[in-house]
Structure 1
Amino acid sequence: MRALINRLTHYEQLSKEEAYQLLVAISRGEFNPSSIAVLMAVFMMRHISIDELEGFRNALQSLCKKVDLDIDNTIDLCGTGGDGKDTFNISTLASFVVASCGIPVTKHGNYGVSSVSGSSNVLEQLGVKFTDEIDVLKQSIHEAGICFLHAPLFHPAMKNVAPIRKDLGLKTFFNMLGPMINPAFPKYQMAGVFDLELMRMYGYLFQKGDVDYTILHSFSGHDEISLTSDCKFLSSEKEGIITPMDFDVNYVSDAEIFGGKTLEEAAKIFDQIISGKGTEAQNHVVCANAAVAISMVKKISLKEAFDLALENLLVGKAKNSLNKLVVISQKIEMQA
């Protein structure tokens, strides 16, 4: 590791194969925590290359516990995080809205590292029990329209990295990998990224696969549609700009989409919104993101998808999906 770190600090780049083998070695516990922390720090100080990102991704995909749900048209809505914006759990809420519209969702998520509440934190707070049991995941997606894939259960290779990331509490190159390593390998992927350079790399890597994708980055710096600014998108078919006018809504302020200072506050905000009691700004941001996913799968306009999403959110269909997921996961735990 010392020789490798020395190369990296002299601005050398790893080949795709070297990056692959590095992640495999980390997963085998061949390096101590201090060395791994230094490695992360080096990549925080310089841009990661496409070959390095692809090698890291390929390693985690090959090492993960793969999930076969016997469903072809699933979608994941997942952001890199690391944007430092402290919003509520927008993509997770949007996932339940999308599920309520009849689109099966395989939501990949983890505990927050650089934020108060990641998707795993808030769902655990609301009663969801995590599992890697395939029969439970199938029941969840068939009855609730969504299953939740808690990353540590499916990526054992990350067990040597998780405590170090938690201690650092900062955005690392592992943030960049999250939306690309869903163990269910969904057909559709809506990925939010924290900068335009990463959007370019995501586009290159997604083009090499068979996933139907849309990548999002708001000019305000958010890794999703924030409605605080216009949003750049890059998809399998085209690229362009999404504005609030595409949904016939207004811009919002950062304060209106703040996610709270504690996990308890984050869970309360989440519950209020999914229960149809969110503010107009909160509802619009959730449904704007859901609309992109719905539009991808159903091949309808963003406005039509937004209207469908908002209706399902306000009448309680998204909340119903969450309730079913909680019940299914808790029943399994009681049987264990």
Structure 2
Amino acid sequence: MVFSDFKQVLERIAEGRKLERDEARQAMEFVVKGDVNEAQTAAFLFGMRQKGETADELTGFAEAMRAAMIPVDVDVTGSVDLCGTGGDHSGSFNISTAAMFVVAGAGVPVLKHGNRSISSKSGSYDVLEALGVAPALEAPKVKTCFEQTGLAFMFAPLFHPAMKYVMPARRALGMRTFFNILGPLLNPAGVKRQLVGTFDDETAKLCFDILYQLEAERIVTVHSEDGMDEFSTAADAGVHFLGQDAIPTYTKFSPEHFGLQRVDHEALRGGDKEVNAEIIRAVLGGRGTPAQTEIVLYNAAMGIYAGGKSDDFSEALAFARESIGSGKAAEKLRHFAEATQELARD
């Protein structure tokens, strides 16, 4: 069906009927073009949550959002994004942000997409700022930074101007909507390899299915049984992955399987952006606690696998250990901070 106006979209959702992928894309196009008022947008978000979103619907939404974003024109070959949906309320430090430097130190380029804190004390933007990074670079400077360092951070609000049509309704609703799922799927550089942590098992499967439909090359999506949207060393994790053999696979991982110590979640707790920045500096400098270091290594190993440097998880963990042990991970942070600050001054 081709919708003549947005009222038809709302009527379909109110009836509890699903949208086909192309219909979902068209529905989101109404929104990103600013053709929908705040009340209609809120009704759309709430109605989709009540009905329950399908993978086809979310894939169509993602296609429309990707078409509306400001792209970063870089060679993404062999590059990976490490991000999460947020919303796990775990209180941990910024694990995926720490892991990005370990992954880059292992020779895998990182194109990370992220935002300020929404539900935690410190989002990726916040902790990078505390680490001396200038995280709010626009597309041309992100491109230059990536070419200089093999690392990039894309601050979501700068690359998704259409979100200005959605944010008032999201704030008014004050609840989780499908945009919490879409965020990690909208990398402005168009990476084909991703590690995505999610707030529940169902969302891990949804994110995998959407990325698969969007023709990602390598995918790892994870939710840990303690609620973390990371690979946790405090619990087992359900993992969906797509590797070199291109066969979608689901399995469960435990930290012990990789020779890692299972810990109490309190050992992974962080604080505000300054506290978390100090934890990251300590881990990259070889001074982190065993618990802090091992969870970063665990997630970095999965990022190295997703990036395609290794098809063996244990070998990827060895690459992560070498990245920290050799000082390459800490050097990546130093170089990245200097490069972004210089670009921000230009």
TM-score above 0.5, yes or no? yes
Which residue does the alignment assign to 1:90? Answer: 95
TM-superposition CA deviations, 1:168-227 (whole Å, max 9, x none): 654321111122211212232112222222233233333331421111121222222011
- Alignment-mate amino acid for residue 188 of structure 1: R
Which residue does the alignment assign to 2:312? Answer: 301
Q: Which of 99, 111, 136 is residue 116 of structure 2 equivalent to?
A: 111
Question: Following the alignment from structure 1 to structure 2, what is the Cα–Cα distance between the partners of residues 239 and 132?
Answer: 37
Which residue does the alignment assign to 2:227? Answer: 221
Please tell me whether residue 193 in structure 1 is matched to residue 193 in structure 2: no
- Alignment-mate amino acid for residue 184 of structure 2: P
Q: Which segment drifts farther, 174-183 or 316-325?
A: 316-325
Q: Which of 234, 249, 265 is residue 254 of structure 1 equivalent to?
A: 265
What runs of 5+ residues in structure 2 fail to find an aligned partner? 1-5
How high is the sequence identity, in percent, across the aligned residues?
A: 36
1:75-154 mapped onto 2 (5 Å cutoff): 75-129=80-134, 130-134=136-140, 136-154=141-159
8 Å Cα contact 2:196/2:220 also seen in 1: yes
> 1:59 Cα shift?
0.6
Distance change >3 Å, CA 5–CA 116, structure 1 → 2: farther
Please tell me whether residue 327 in structure 1 is matched to residue 338 in structure 2: yes
TM-score, normalised via structure 2 length: 0.87
Q: Which of 278, 284, 301 is residue 274 of structure 1 equivalent to?
A: 284
Question: Following the alignment from structure 1 to structure 2, what is the Cα–Cα distance between the partners of residues 123 and 287?
Answer: 19
Question: Following the alignment from structure 1 to structure 2, what is the Cα–Cα distance between the partners of residues 167 and 100?
Answer: 42
Distance change >3 Å, CA 317–CA 170, structure 1 → 2: farther
> 1:120 Cα shift?
1.6
- Alignment-mate amino acid for residue 280 of structure 1: P
- Alignment-mate amino acid for residue 258 of structure 2: F
Distance change >3 Å, CA 157–CA 303, structure 1 → 2: same
TM-score, normalised via structure 1 length: 0.89
Distance change >3 Å, CA 33–CA 122, structure 1 → 2: farther
> 1:102 Cα shift?
0.8
TM-superposition CA deviations, 1:27-69 (whole Å, max 9, x none): 2223333443343334444421122211111111111122221
Distance change >3 Å, CA 55–CA 71, structure 1 → 2: closer
Question: Following the alignment from structure 1 to structure 2, what is the Cα–Cα distance between the partners of residues 196 and 122?
Answer: 27
What runs of 5+ residues in structure 1 fail to find an aligned partner? none
Distance change >3 Å, CA 290–CA 41, structure 1 → 2: same
- Alignment-mate amino acid for residue 84 of structure 1: H
Which residue does the alignment assign to 1:233? Answer: 239
Question: Following the alignment from structure 1 to structure 2, what is the Cα–Cα distance between the partners of residues 172 and 267?
Answer: 29
> 1:290 Cα shift?
0.7
8 Å Cα contact 2:105/2:329 also seen in 1: yes
> 1:7 Cα shift?
4.6
8 Å Cα contact 2:56/2:210 also seen in 1: no
Please tell me whether residue 68 in structure 1 is matched to residue 73 in structure 2: yes
Distance change >3 Å, CA 34–CA 64, structure 1 → 2: same
1:285-296 mapped onto 2 (5 Å cutoff): 285-296=295-306
Question: Following the alignment from structure 2 to structure 1, what is the Cα–Cα distance between the partners of residues 138 and 80?
Answer: 18
8 Å Cα contact 2:115/2:157 also seen in 1: yes
Q: Which of 24, 28, 31 is residue 19 of structure 1 equivalent to?
A: 24
Secondary structure of 1:276's aligned partner: coil
> 1:317 Cα shift?
2.1
Which residue does the alignment assign to 1:283? Answer: 293
Question: Following the alignment from structure 1 to structure 2, what is the Cα–Cα distance between the partners of residues 319 and 184?
Answer: 25
Give the length in aligned residue pairs: 333
Question: Following the alignment from structure 2 to structure 1, what is the Cα–Cα distance between the partners of residues 116 and 14?
Answer: 30
1:34-49 mapped onto 2 (5 Å cutoff): 34-49=39-54
Distance change >3 Å, CA 256–CA 46, structure 1 → 2: farther
Distance change >3 Å, CA 34–CA 121, structure 1 → 2: farther
TM-superposition CA deviations, 1:126-185 (whole Å, max 9, x none): 332221233x33442243221111111221111222455456654321111122211212
Secondary structure of 2:232's aligned partner: coil
Distance change >3 Å, CA 219–CA 34, structure 1 → 2: same
Secondary structure of 2:286's aligned partner: helix
